[in-house]
Amino acid sequence: MTSDKSVTDSPVRTDGLHLENFLPYRLSVLSNRVSNAIAQAYGTRFRLTIPAWRVMAILGRFPDLSAAELVEQTAMDKVAISRAVSTLLSNDYITRSEDPADRRRQVLNLSQLGRQVYGQIVPLAQGYENDLMSSLSAEERHQLDGIIDKLMDRAQAWADRGLID
Amino acid sequence: MTSDKSVTDSPVRTDGLHLENFLPYRLSVLSNRVSNAIAQAYGTRFRLTIPAWRVMAILGRFPDLSAAELVEQTAMDKVAISRAVSTLLSNDYITRSEDPADRRRQVLNLSQLGRQVYGQIVPLAQGYENDLMSSLSAEERHQLDGIIDKLMDRAQAWADRGLID
DNA sequence: TTGCAGTGGTTACAATTGAAACCAATTTTA
DNA sequence: TAAAATTGGTTTCAATTGTAACCACTGCAA
């Protein structure tokens, strides 16, 4: 009398939380799958970590930012930015120059090389996004857009109300 | 349509990737906000990490699983499960018993205490989920459900086609 | 049997991450 | 102008996580 248990053929009912339908869980799985796939793609080609690429992505759009401004933009933390910046400097993907008006502040930009890499990664990333989006109808895409905004606001409200920390 | 967004007041146009509209990025931010909020809630009350709670969540629904079966269910990796299991054992939140039929295999279950904690966390987690969902209409909820499934399949396909690794 | 490939699970070690302390430049206050 | 407080950014140290090696057991094959 073997008590063979396989998840699939013994759906024991204890009526608890159904993780597989639980939105936070599904979001987390989806987000990780997507990010890892993309990170893998540019990571192997250009030796970039996710935070490093994120910094490049912002600098590519908004030149002349300081580390603090990057923090603001990305919601990443100081330390992560600092580390990303230092590896990007040693890769020569970005440049750093002192702000003469405030010698603590350092102005960051994509370097020549950085812009070139950026120019290659952008379509690559967009390719993944398009592929993802292509599984949705135009209507669904539009719906998703609004839904994410609403969820984002709600989750943000938790933090604001002090439900977090 | 495209009114220039500015970080501060220098809306320099380089027309690159608009991270703030980039689906993978938005998913990642949303998912982190949500998971962190919930983890914070049960973490402070019950000293549980996310992987540990995830293990409890599965065991609460499917008793008598082995570590390998947990891996299957959660898509977490072996080692993460092993660690979560060992802290849960030392918390007395789960029990472990040898399978006499196969002495490598160890059958896991929520303990008395574990079930009690589980019983408290489930409504708490569902409370967050409900709050999140309440920002959507019934229709949007339904749409989201389908959309996530589609995106998930697509992202999974990348892995299957070897686009990752 | 023995021999060896495969499985369940843990351990060891390296890389990543986060919190807090820290240094240096600047602004504020008095 | 001299503290004191603030801000930009880095470093340090501990906790978390991932990869690979590992041990113990099982199942199959000769």
DSSP track, B19-87: GGG-HHHHHHHHHHHHHHHHHHHHHHHH---HHHHHHHHHHHHS-SB-HHHHHHHH---HHHHHHHHHH
List, in order, residues 6 or more apart from B8 with CB less than 8 Å away: A69
Provide the pLDDT for residue B48. Answer: 92
Provide the pLDDT for residue B53. Answer: 94
pLDDT one digit per residue (tens) for chain B, 165 residues: 333 333 333 344 445 788 888 999 899 888 888 888 888 888 888 989 999 999 999 999 999 999 999 998 888 899 999 999 999 999 999 999 999 999 999 999 999 999 999 999 999 999 999 999 999 999 999 999 999 999 999 988 887 665 543
Residue A3: what residue type? Answer: S
Half-sphere exposure in the Cβ direction for B44 (13 Å, CA): 9
Nearest to B31 among A11, A31, A60 (CB): A31
Cβ-defined contact of B133 to A23 (cutoff 8 Å): yes
The b-or-e profile of B69-108 (16+ CB within 10 A means b, else e) is bbbebbebeeebbeebbebbeebebbbeeebeeeeeebbb
Chain A: residue whose CA lies nearest to B135: A150
Mutate which: A25, A77, A129, A161, vs B, most B CBs within 10 A: A25
Predicted TM-score (pTM) of the model is 0.82
CA distance B37 to A160: 11
CA A17 to chain CA centroid, Å, is 28
Provide the pLDDT for residue A48. Answer: 92
Nearest to A126 among B17, B159, B163 (CB): B17
Q: What nucleotides of chain C have any atom within 7 angstroms of a protein Cβ?
A: 7-12, 16-20, 24-27
DSSP H or E run through A14: none
Q: Which long-range contacts (CB under 8 A, 24 or more apart) does A25-28 make?
A: A25/B54, A26/B148, A26/B152, A27/B27, A27/B30, A27/B31, A27/B34, A27/B35, A27/B148, A28/B31, A28/B34, A28/B35
Nearest-CA residue to the C1' of C16? A80
Provide the pLDDT for residue B162. Answer: 58
CA B164 to chain CA centroid, Å, is 21
Classify residue A93 by its DSSP letter.
S
Is B53 in contact with B121 (CB distance < 8 Å)? yes
User: Over chain A (165 residues), what is each successive 10-residue block's mean pLDDT?
Assistant: 37 63 89 85 88 94 95 89 96 95 96 96 92 96 96 84 53
Provide the pLDDT for residue B17. Answer: 80
